[in-house]
Amino acid sequence: MEHIEIITPEIIHPVVAYQDEKETKANKRSSFIEANTIACSLEEMKSKHIIPVFVKDNETLISHDEFIDAASTITADIFHGEHILKPNIRVSHPIKGRIPEAKDKPANQLYEWEKTLYYERMMFVIEVPSLQAEIGGNTLSLTVGGVKAYNHDNLYSRNQSEQHFKIFIGFQNKVCTNLCVWTDGLMSDVKVNSLAQLKVAIRTLVENYNHGFHLQRLEDFTNHALTENQFAHLIGRCRMYTHLPGDVKKDIPPILFGDTQMSAVVKDYYRDESFCRDNNGNINLWKLYNLFTGANKSTYIDSFLERSVNAFNLVEQVRDGLDRDNKCWYLS
């Protein structure tokens, strides 16, 4: 296998926190996550969204914008001198309220300044486009990001209670904005009591991430392929998994994708412009992986990363099965 290197463009931009007009339009056309989410700028979040508090003592939780700012600062520090884009933010599950003076007003008569708002769930990515690699003809950019879902915290407690975060580092496929995340680039349940502790966790993950090894594993997907019959068998097995008896299921690596996502994978197997089958019905595992990460865009924020890692693990199982003459439950 050829050694894979991060390809650094000749012109390296200084660390910036701005996207140019072309990049902004690209983000609007295709997002890294789509289900039940809307785009939100960091400026809007800081100026218009209230900050949740612990009910017992009215102390604030770590806000979405503090989380994003911490990740942005650490990314800029570790990748000093690289071109770093403005965070791409998606939010869902709005929590609406109103100021006390407007408590008796009908909702349709509220002025904007009388309304309060924050979003229960938020996900962001910070792309470093000057750190790139190419796999299967697709350009990948290094990406750092995180997820915050206040529904995982005990808001009816005091500020000593642990707050939960998810942080990740991986790559974004520039062809489709799919995120490529694997186990070694994810902390799926970071529990902290302060912003300082959260910063330590972010820095630890980013500094310890082995991008070269991750890229090698992804590159290896291009060296294996499924026939149309094998693909059909894989899809059938994935749909069977959910309904297996418990004693059978416990010995099989899980699949976290439901029927909706599996239908999207099958549809794109035939129709996706970049990752569909070839003229003989065959599909290499890099394309298969992107069919799963593409289908994952319909996943809600709070389970997106787990399914993203699951897509990688599933395709690795398939690869191992091909290397061992289909000794894999999903292909057997």
In the predicted model, is pLDDT for residue 24 greater than 90? no
Extents of the domains making up the chain: 21-209, 224-323
In the predicted model, is pLDDT for residue 94 greater than 90? yes
Mean pLDDT on 192-204: 97
- Per-residue model confidence (pLDDT) at position 332: 86
In the predicted model, is pLDDT for residue 17 greater than 90? no
In the predicted model, is pLDDT for residue 206 greater than 50? yes
Mean pLDDT of the chain: 90
pLDDT tens digits, residue range 266-288? 999 999 999 999 999 999 999 99
- Per-residue model confidence (pLDDT) at position 194: 95
Higher pLDDT, 84 or 22: 84
pLDDT tens digits, residue range 307-323? 999 999 999 999 999 99
Q: How confident is the model at residue 264 (pLDDT cuts 50, 70, 90)?
A: very high
Percent of the chain with pLDDT over 70: 91
This prediction's pTM: 0.89
CA distance 63 to 124: 13
In the predicted model, is pLDDT for residue 45 greater than 60? yes
- Per-residue model confidence (pLDDT) at position 35: 85
CA distance 79 to 102: 47
- Per-residue model confidence (pLDDT) at position 326: 66
Mean pLDDT on 90-118: 93
pLDDT tens digits, residue range 35-44? 889 999 999 9
Mean pLDDT on 133-153: 97
Which of 18-27, 157-166, 297-306 has the weakest average pLDDT?
18-27
Enumerate the β-bridge partners of residue 171.
Answer: 142, 180
- Per-residue model confidence (pLDDT) at position 157: 87
- Per-residue model confidence (pLDDT) at position 223: 97
Mean pLDDT on 222-241: 97
Q: How confident is the model at residue 10 (pLDDT cuts 50, 70, 90)?
A: very low
Mean pLDDT on 206-218: 97
Mean pLDDT on 128-140: 97
Q: How confident is the model at residue 147 (pLDDT cuts 50, 70, 90)?
A: very high
Mean pLDDT on 173-188: 96
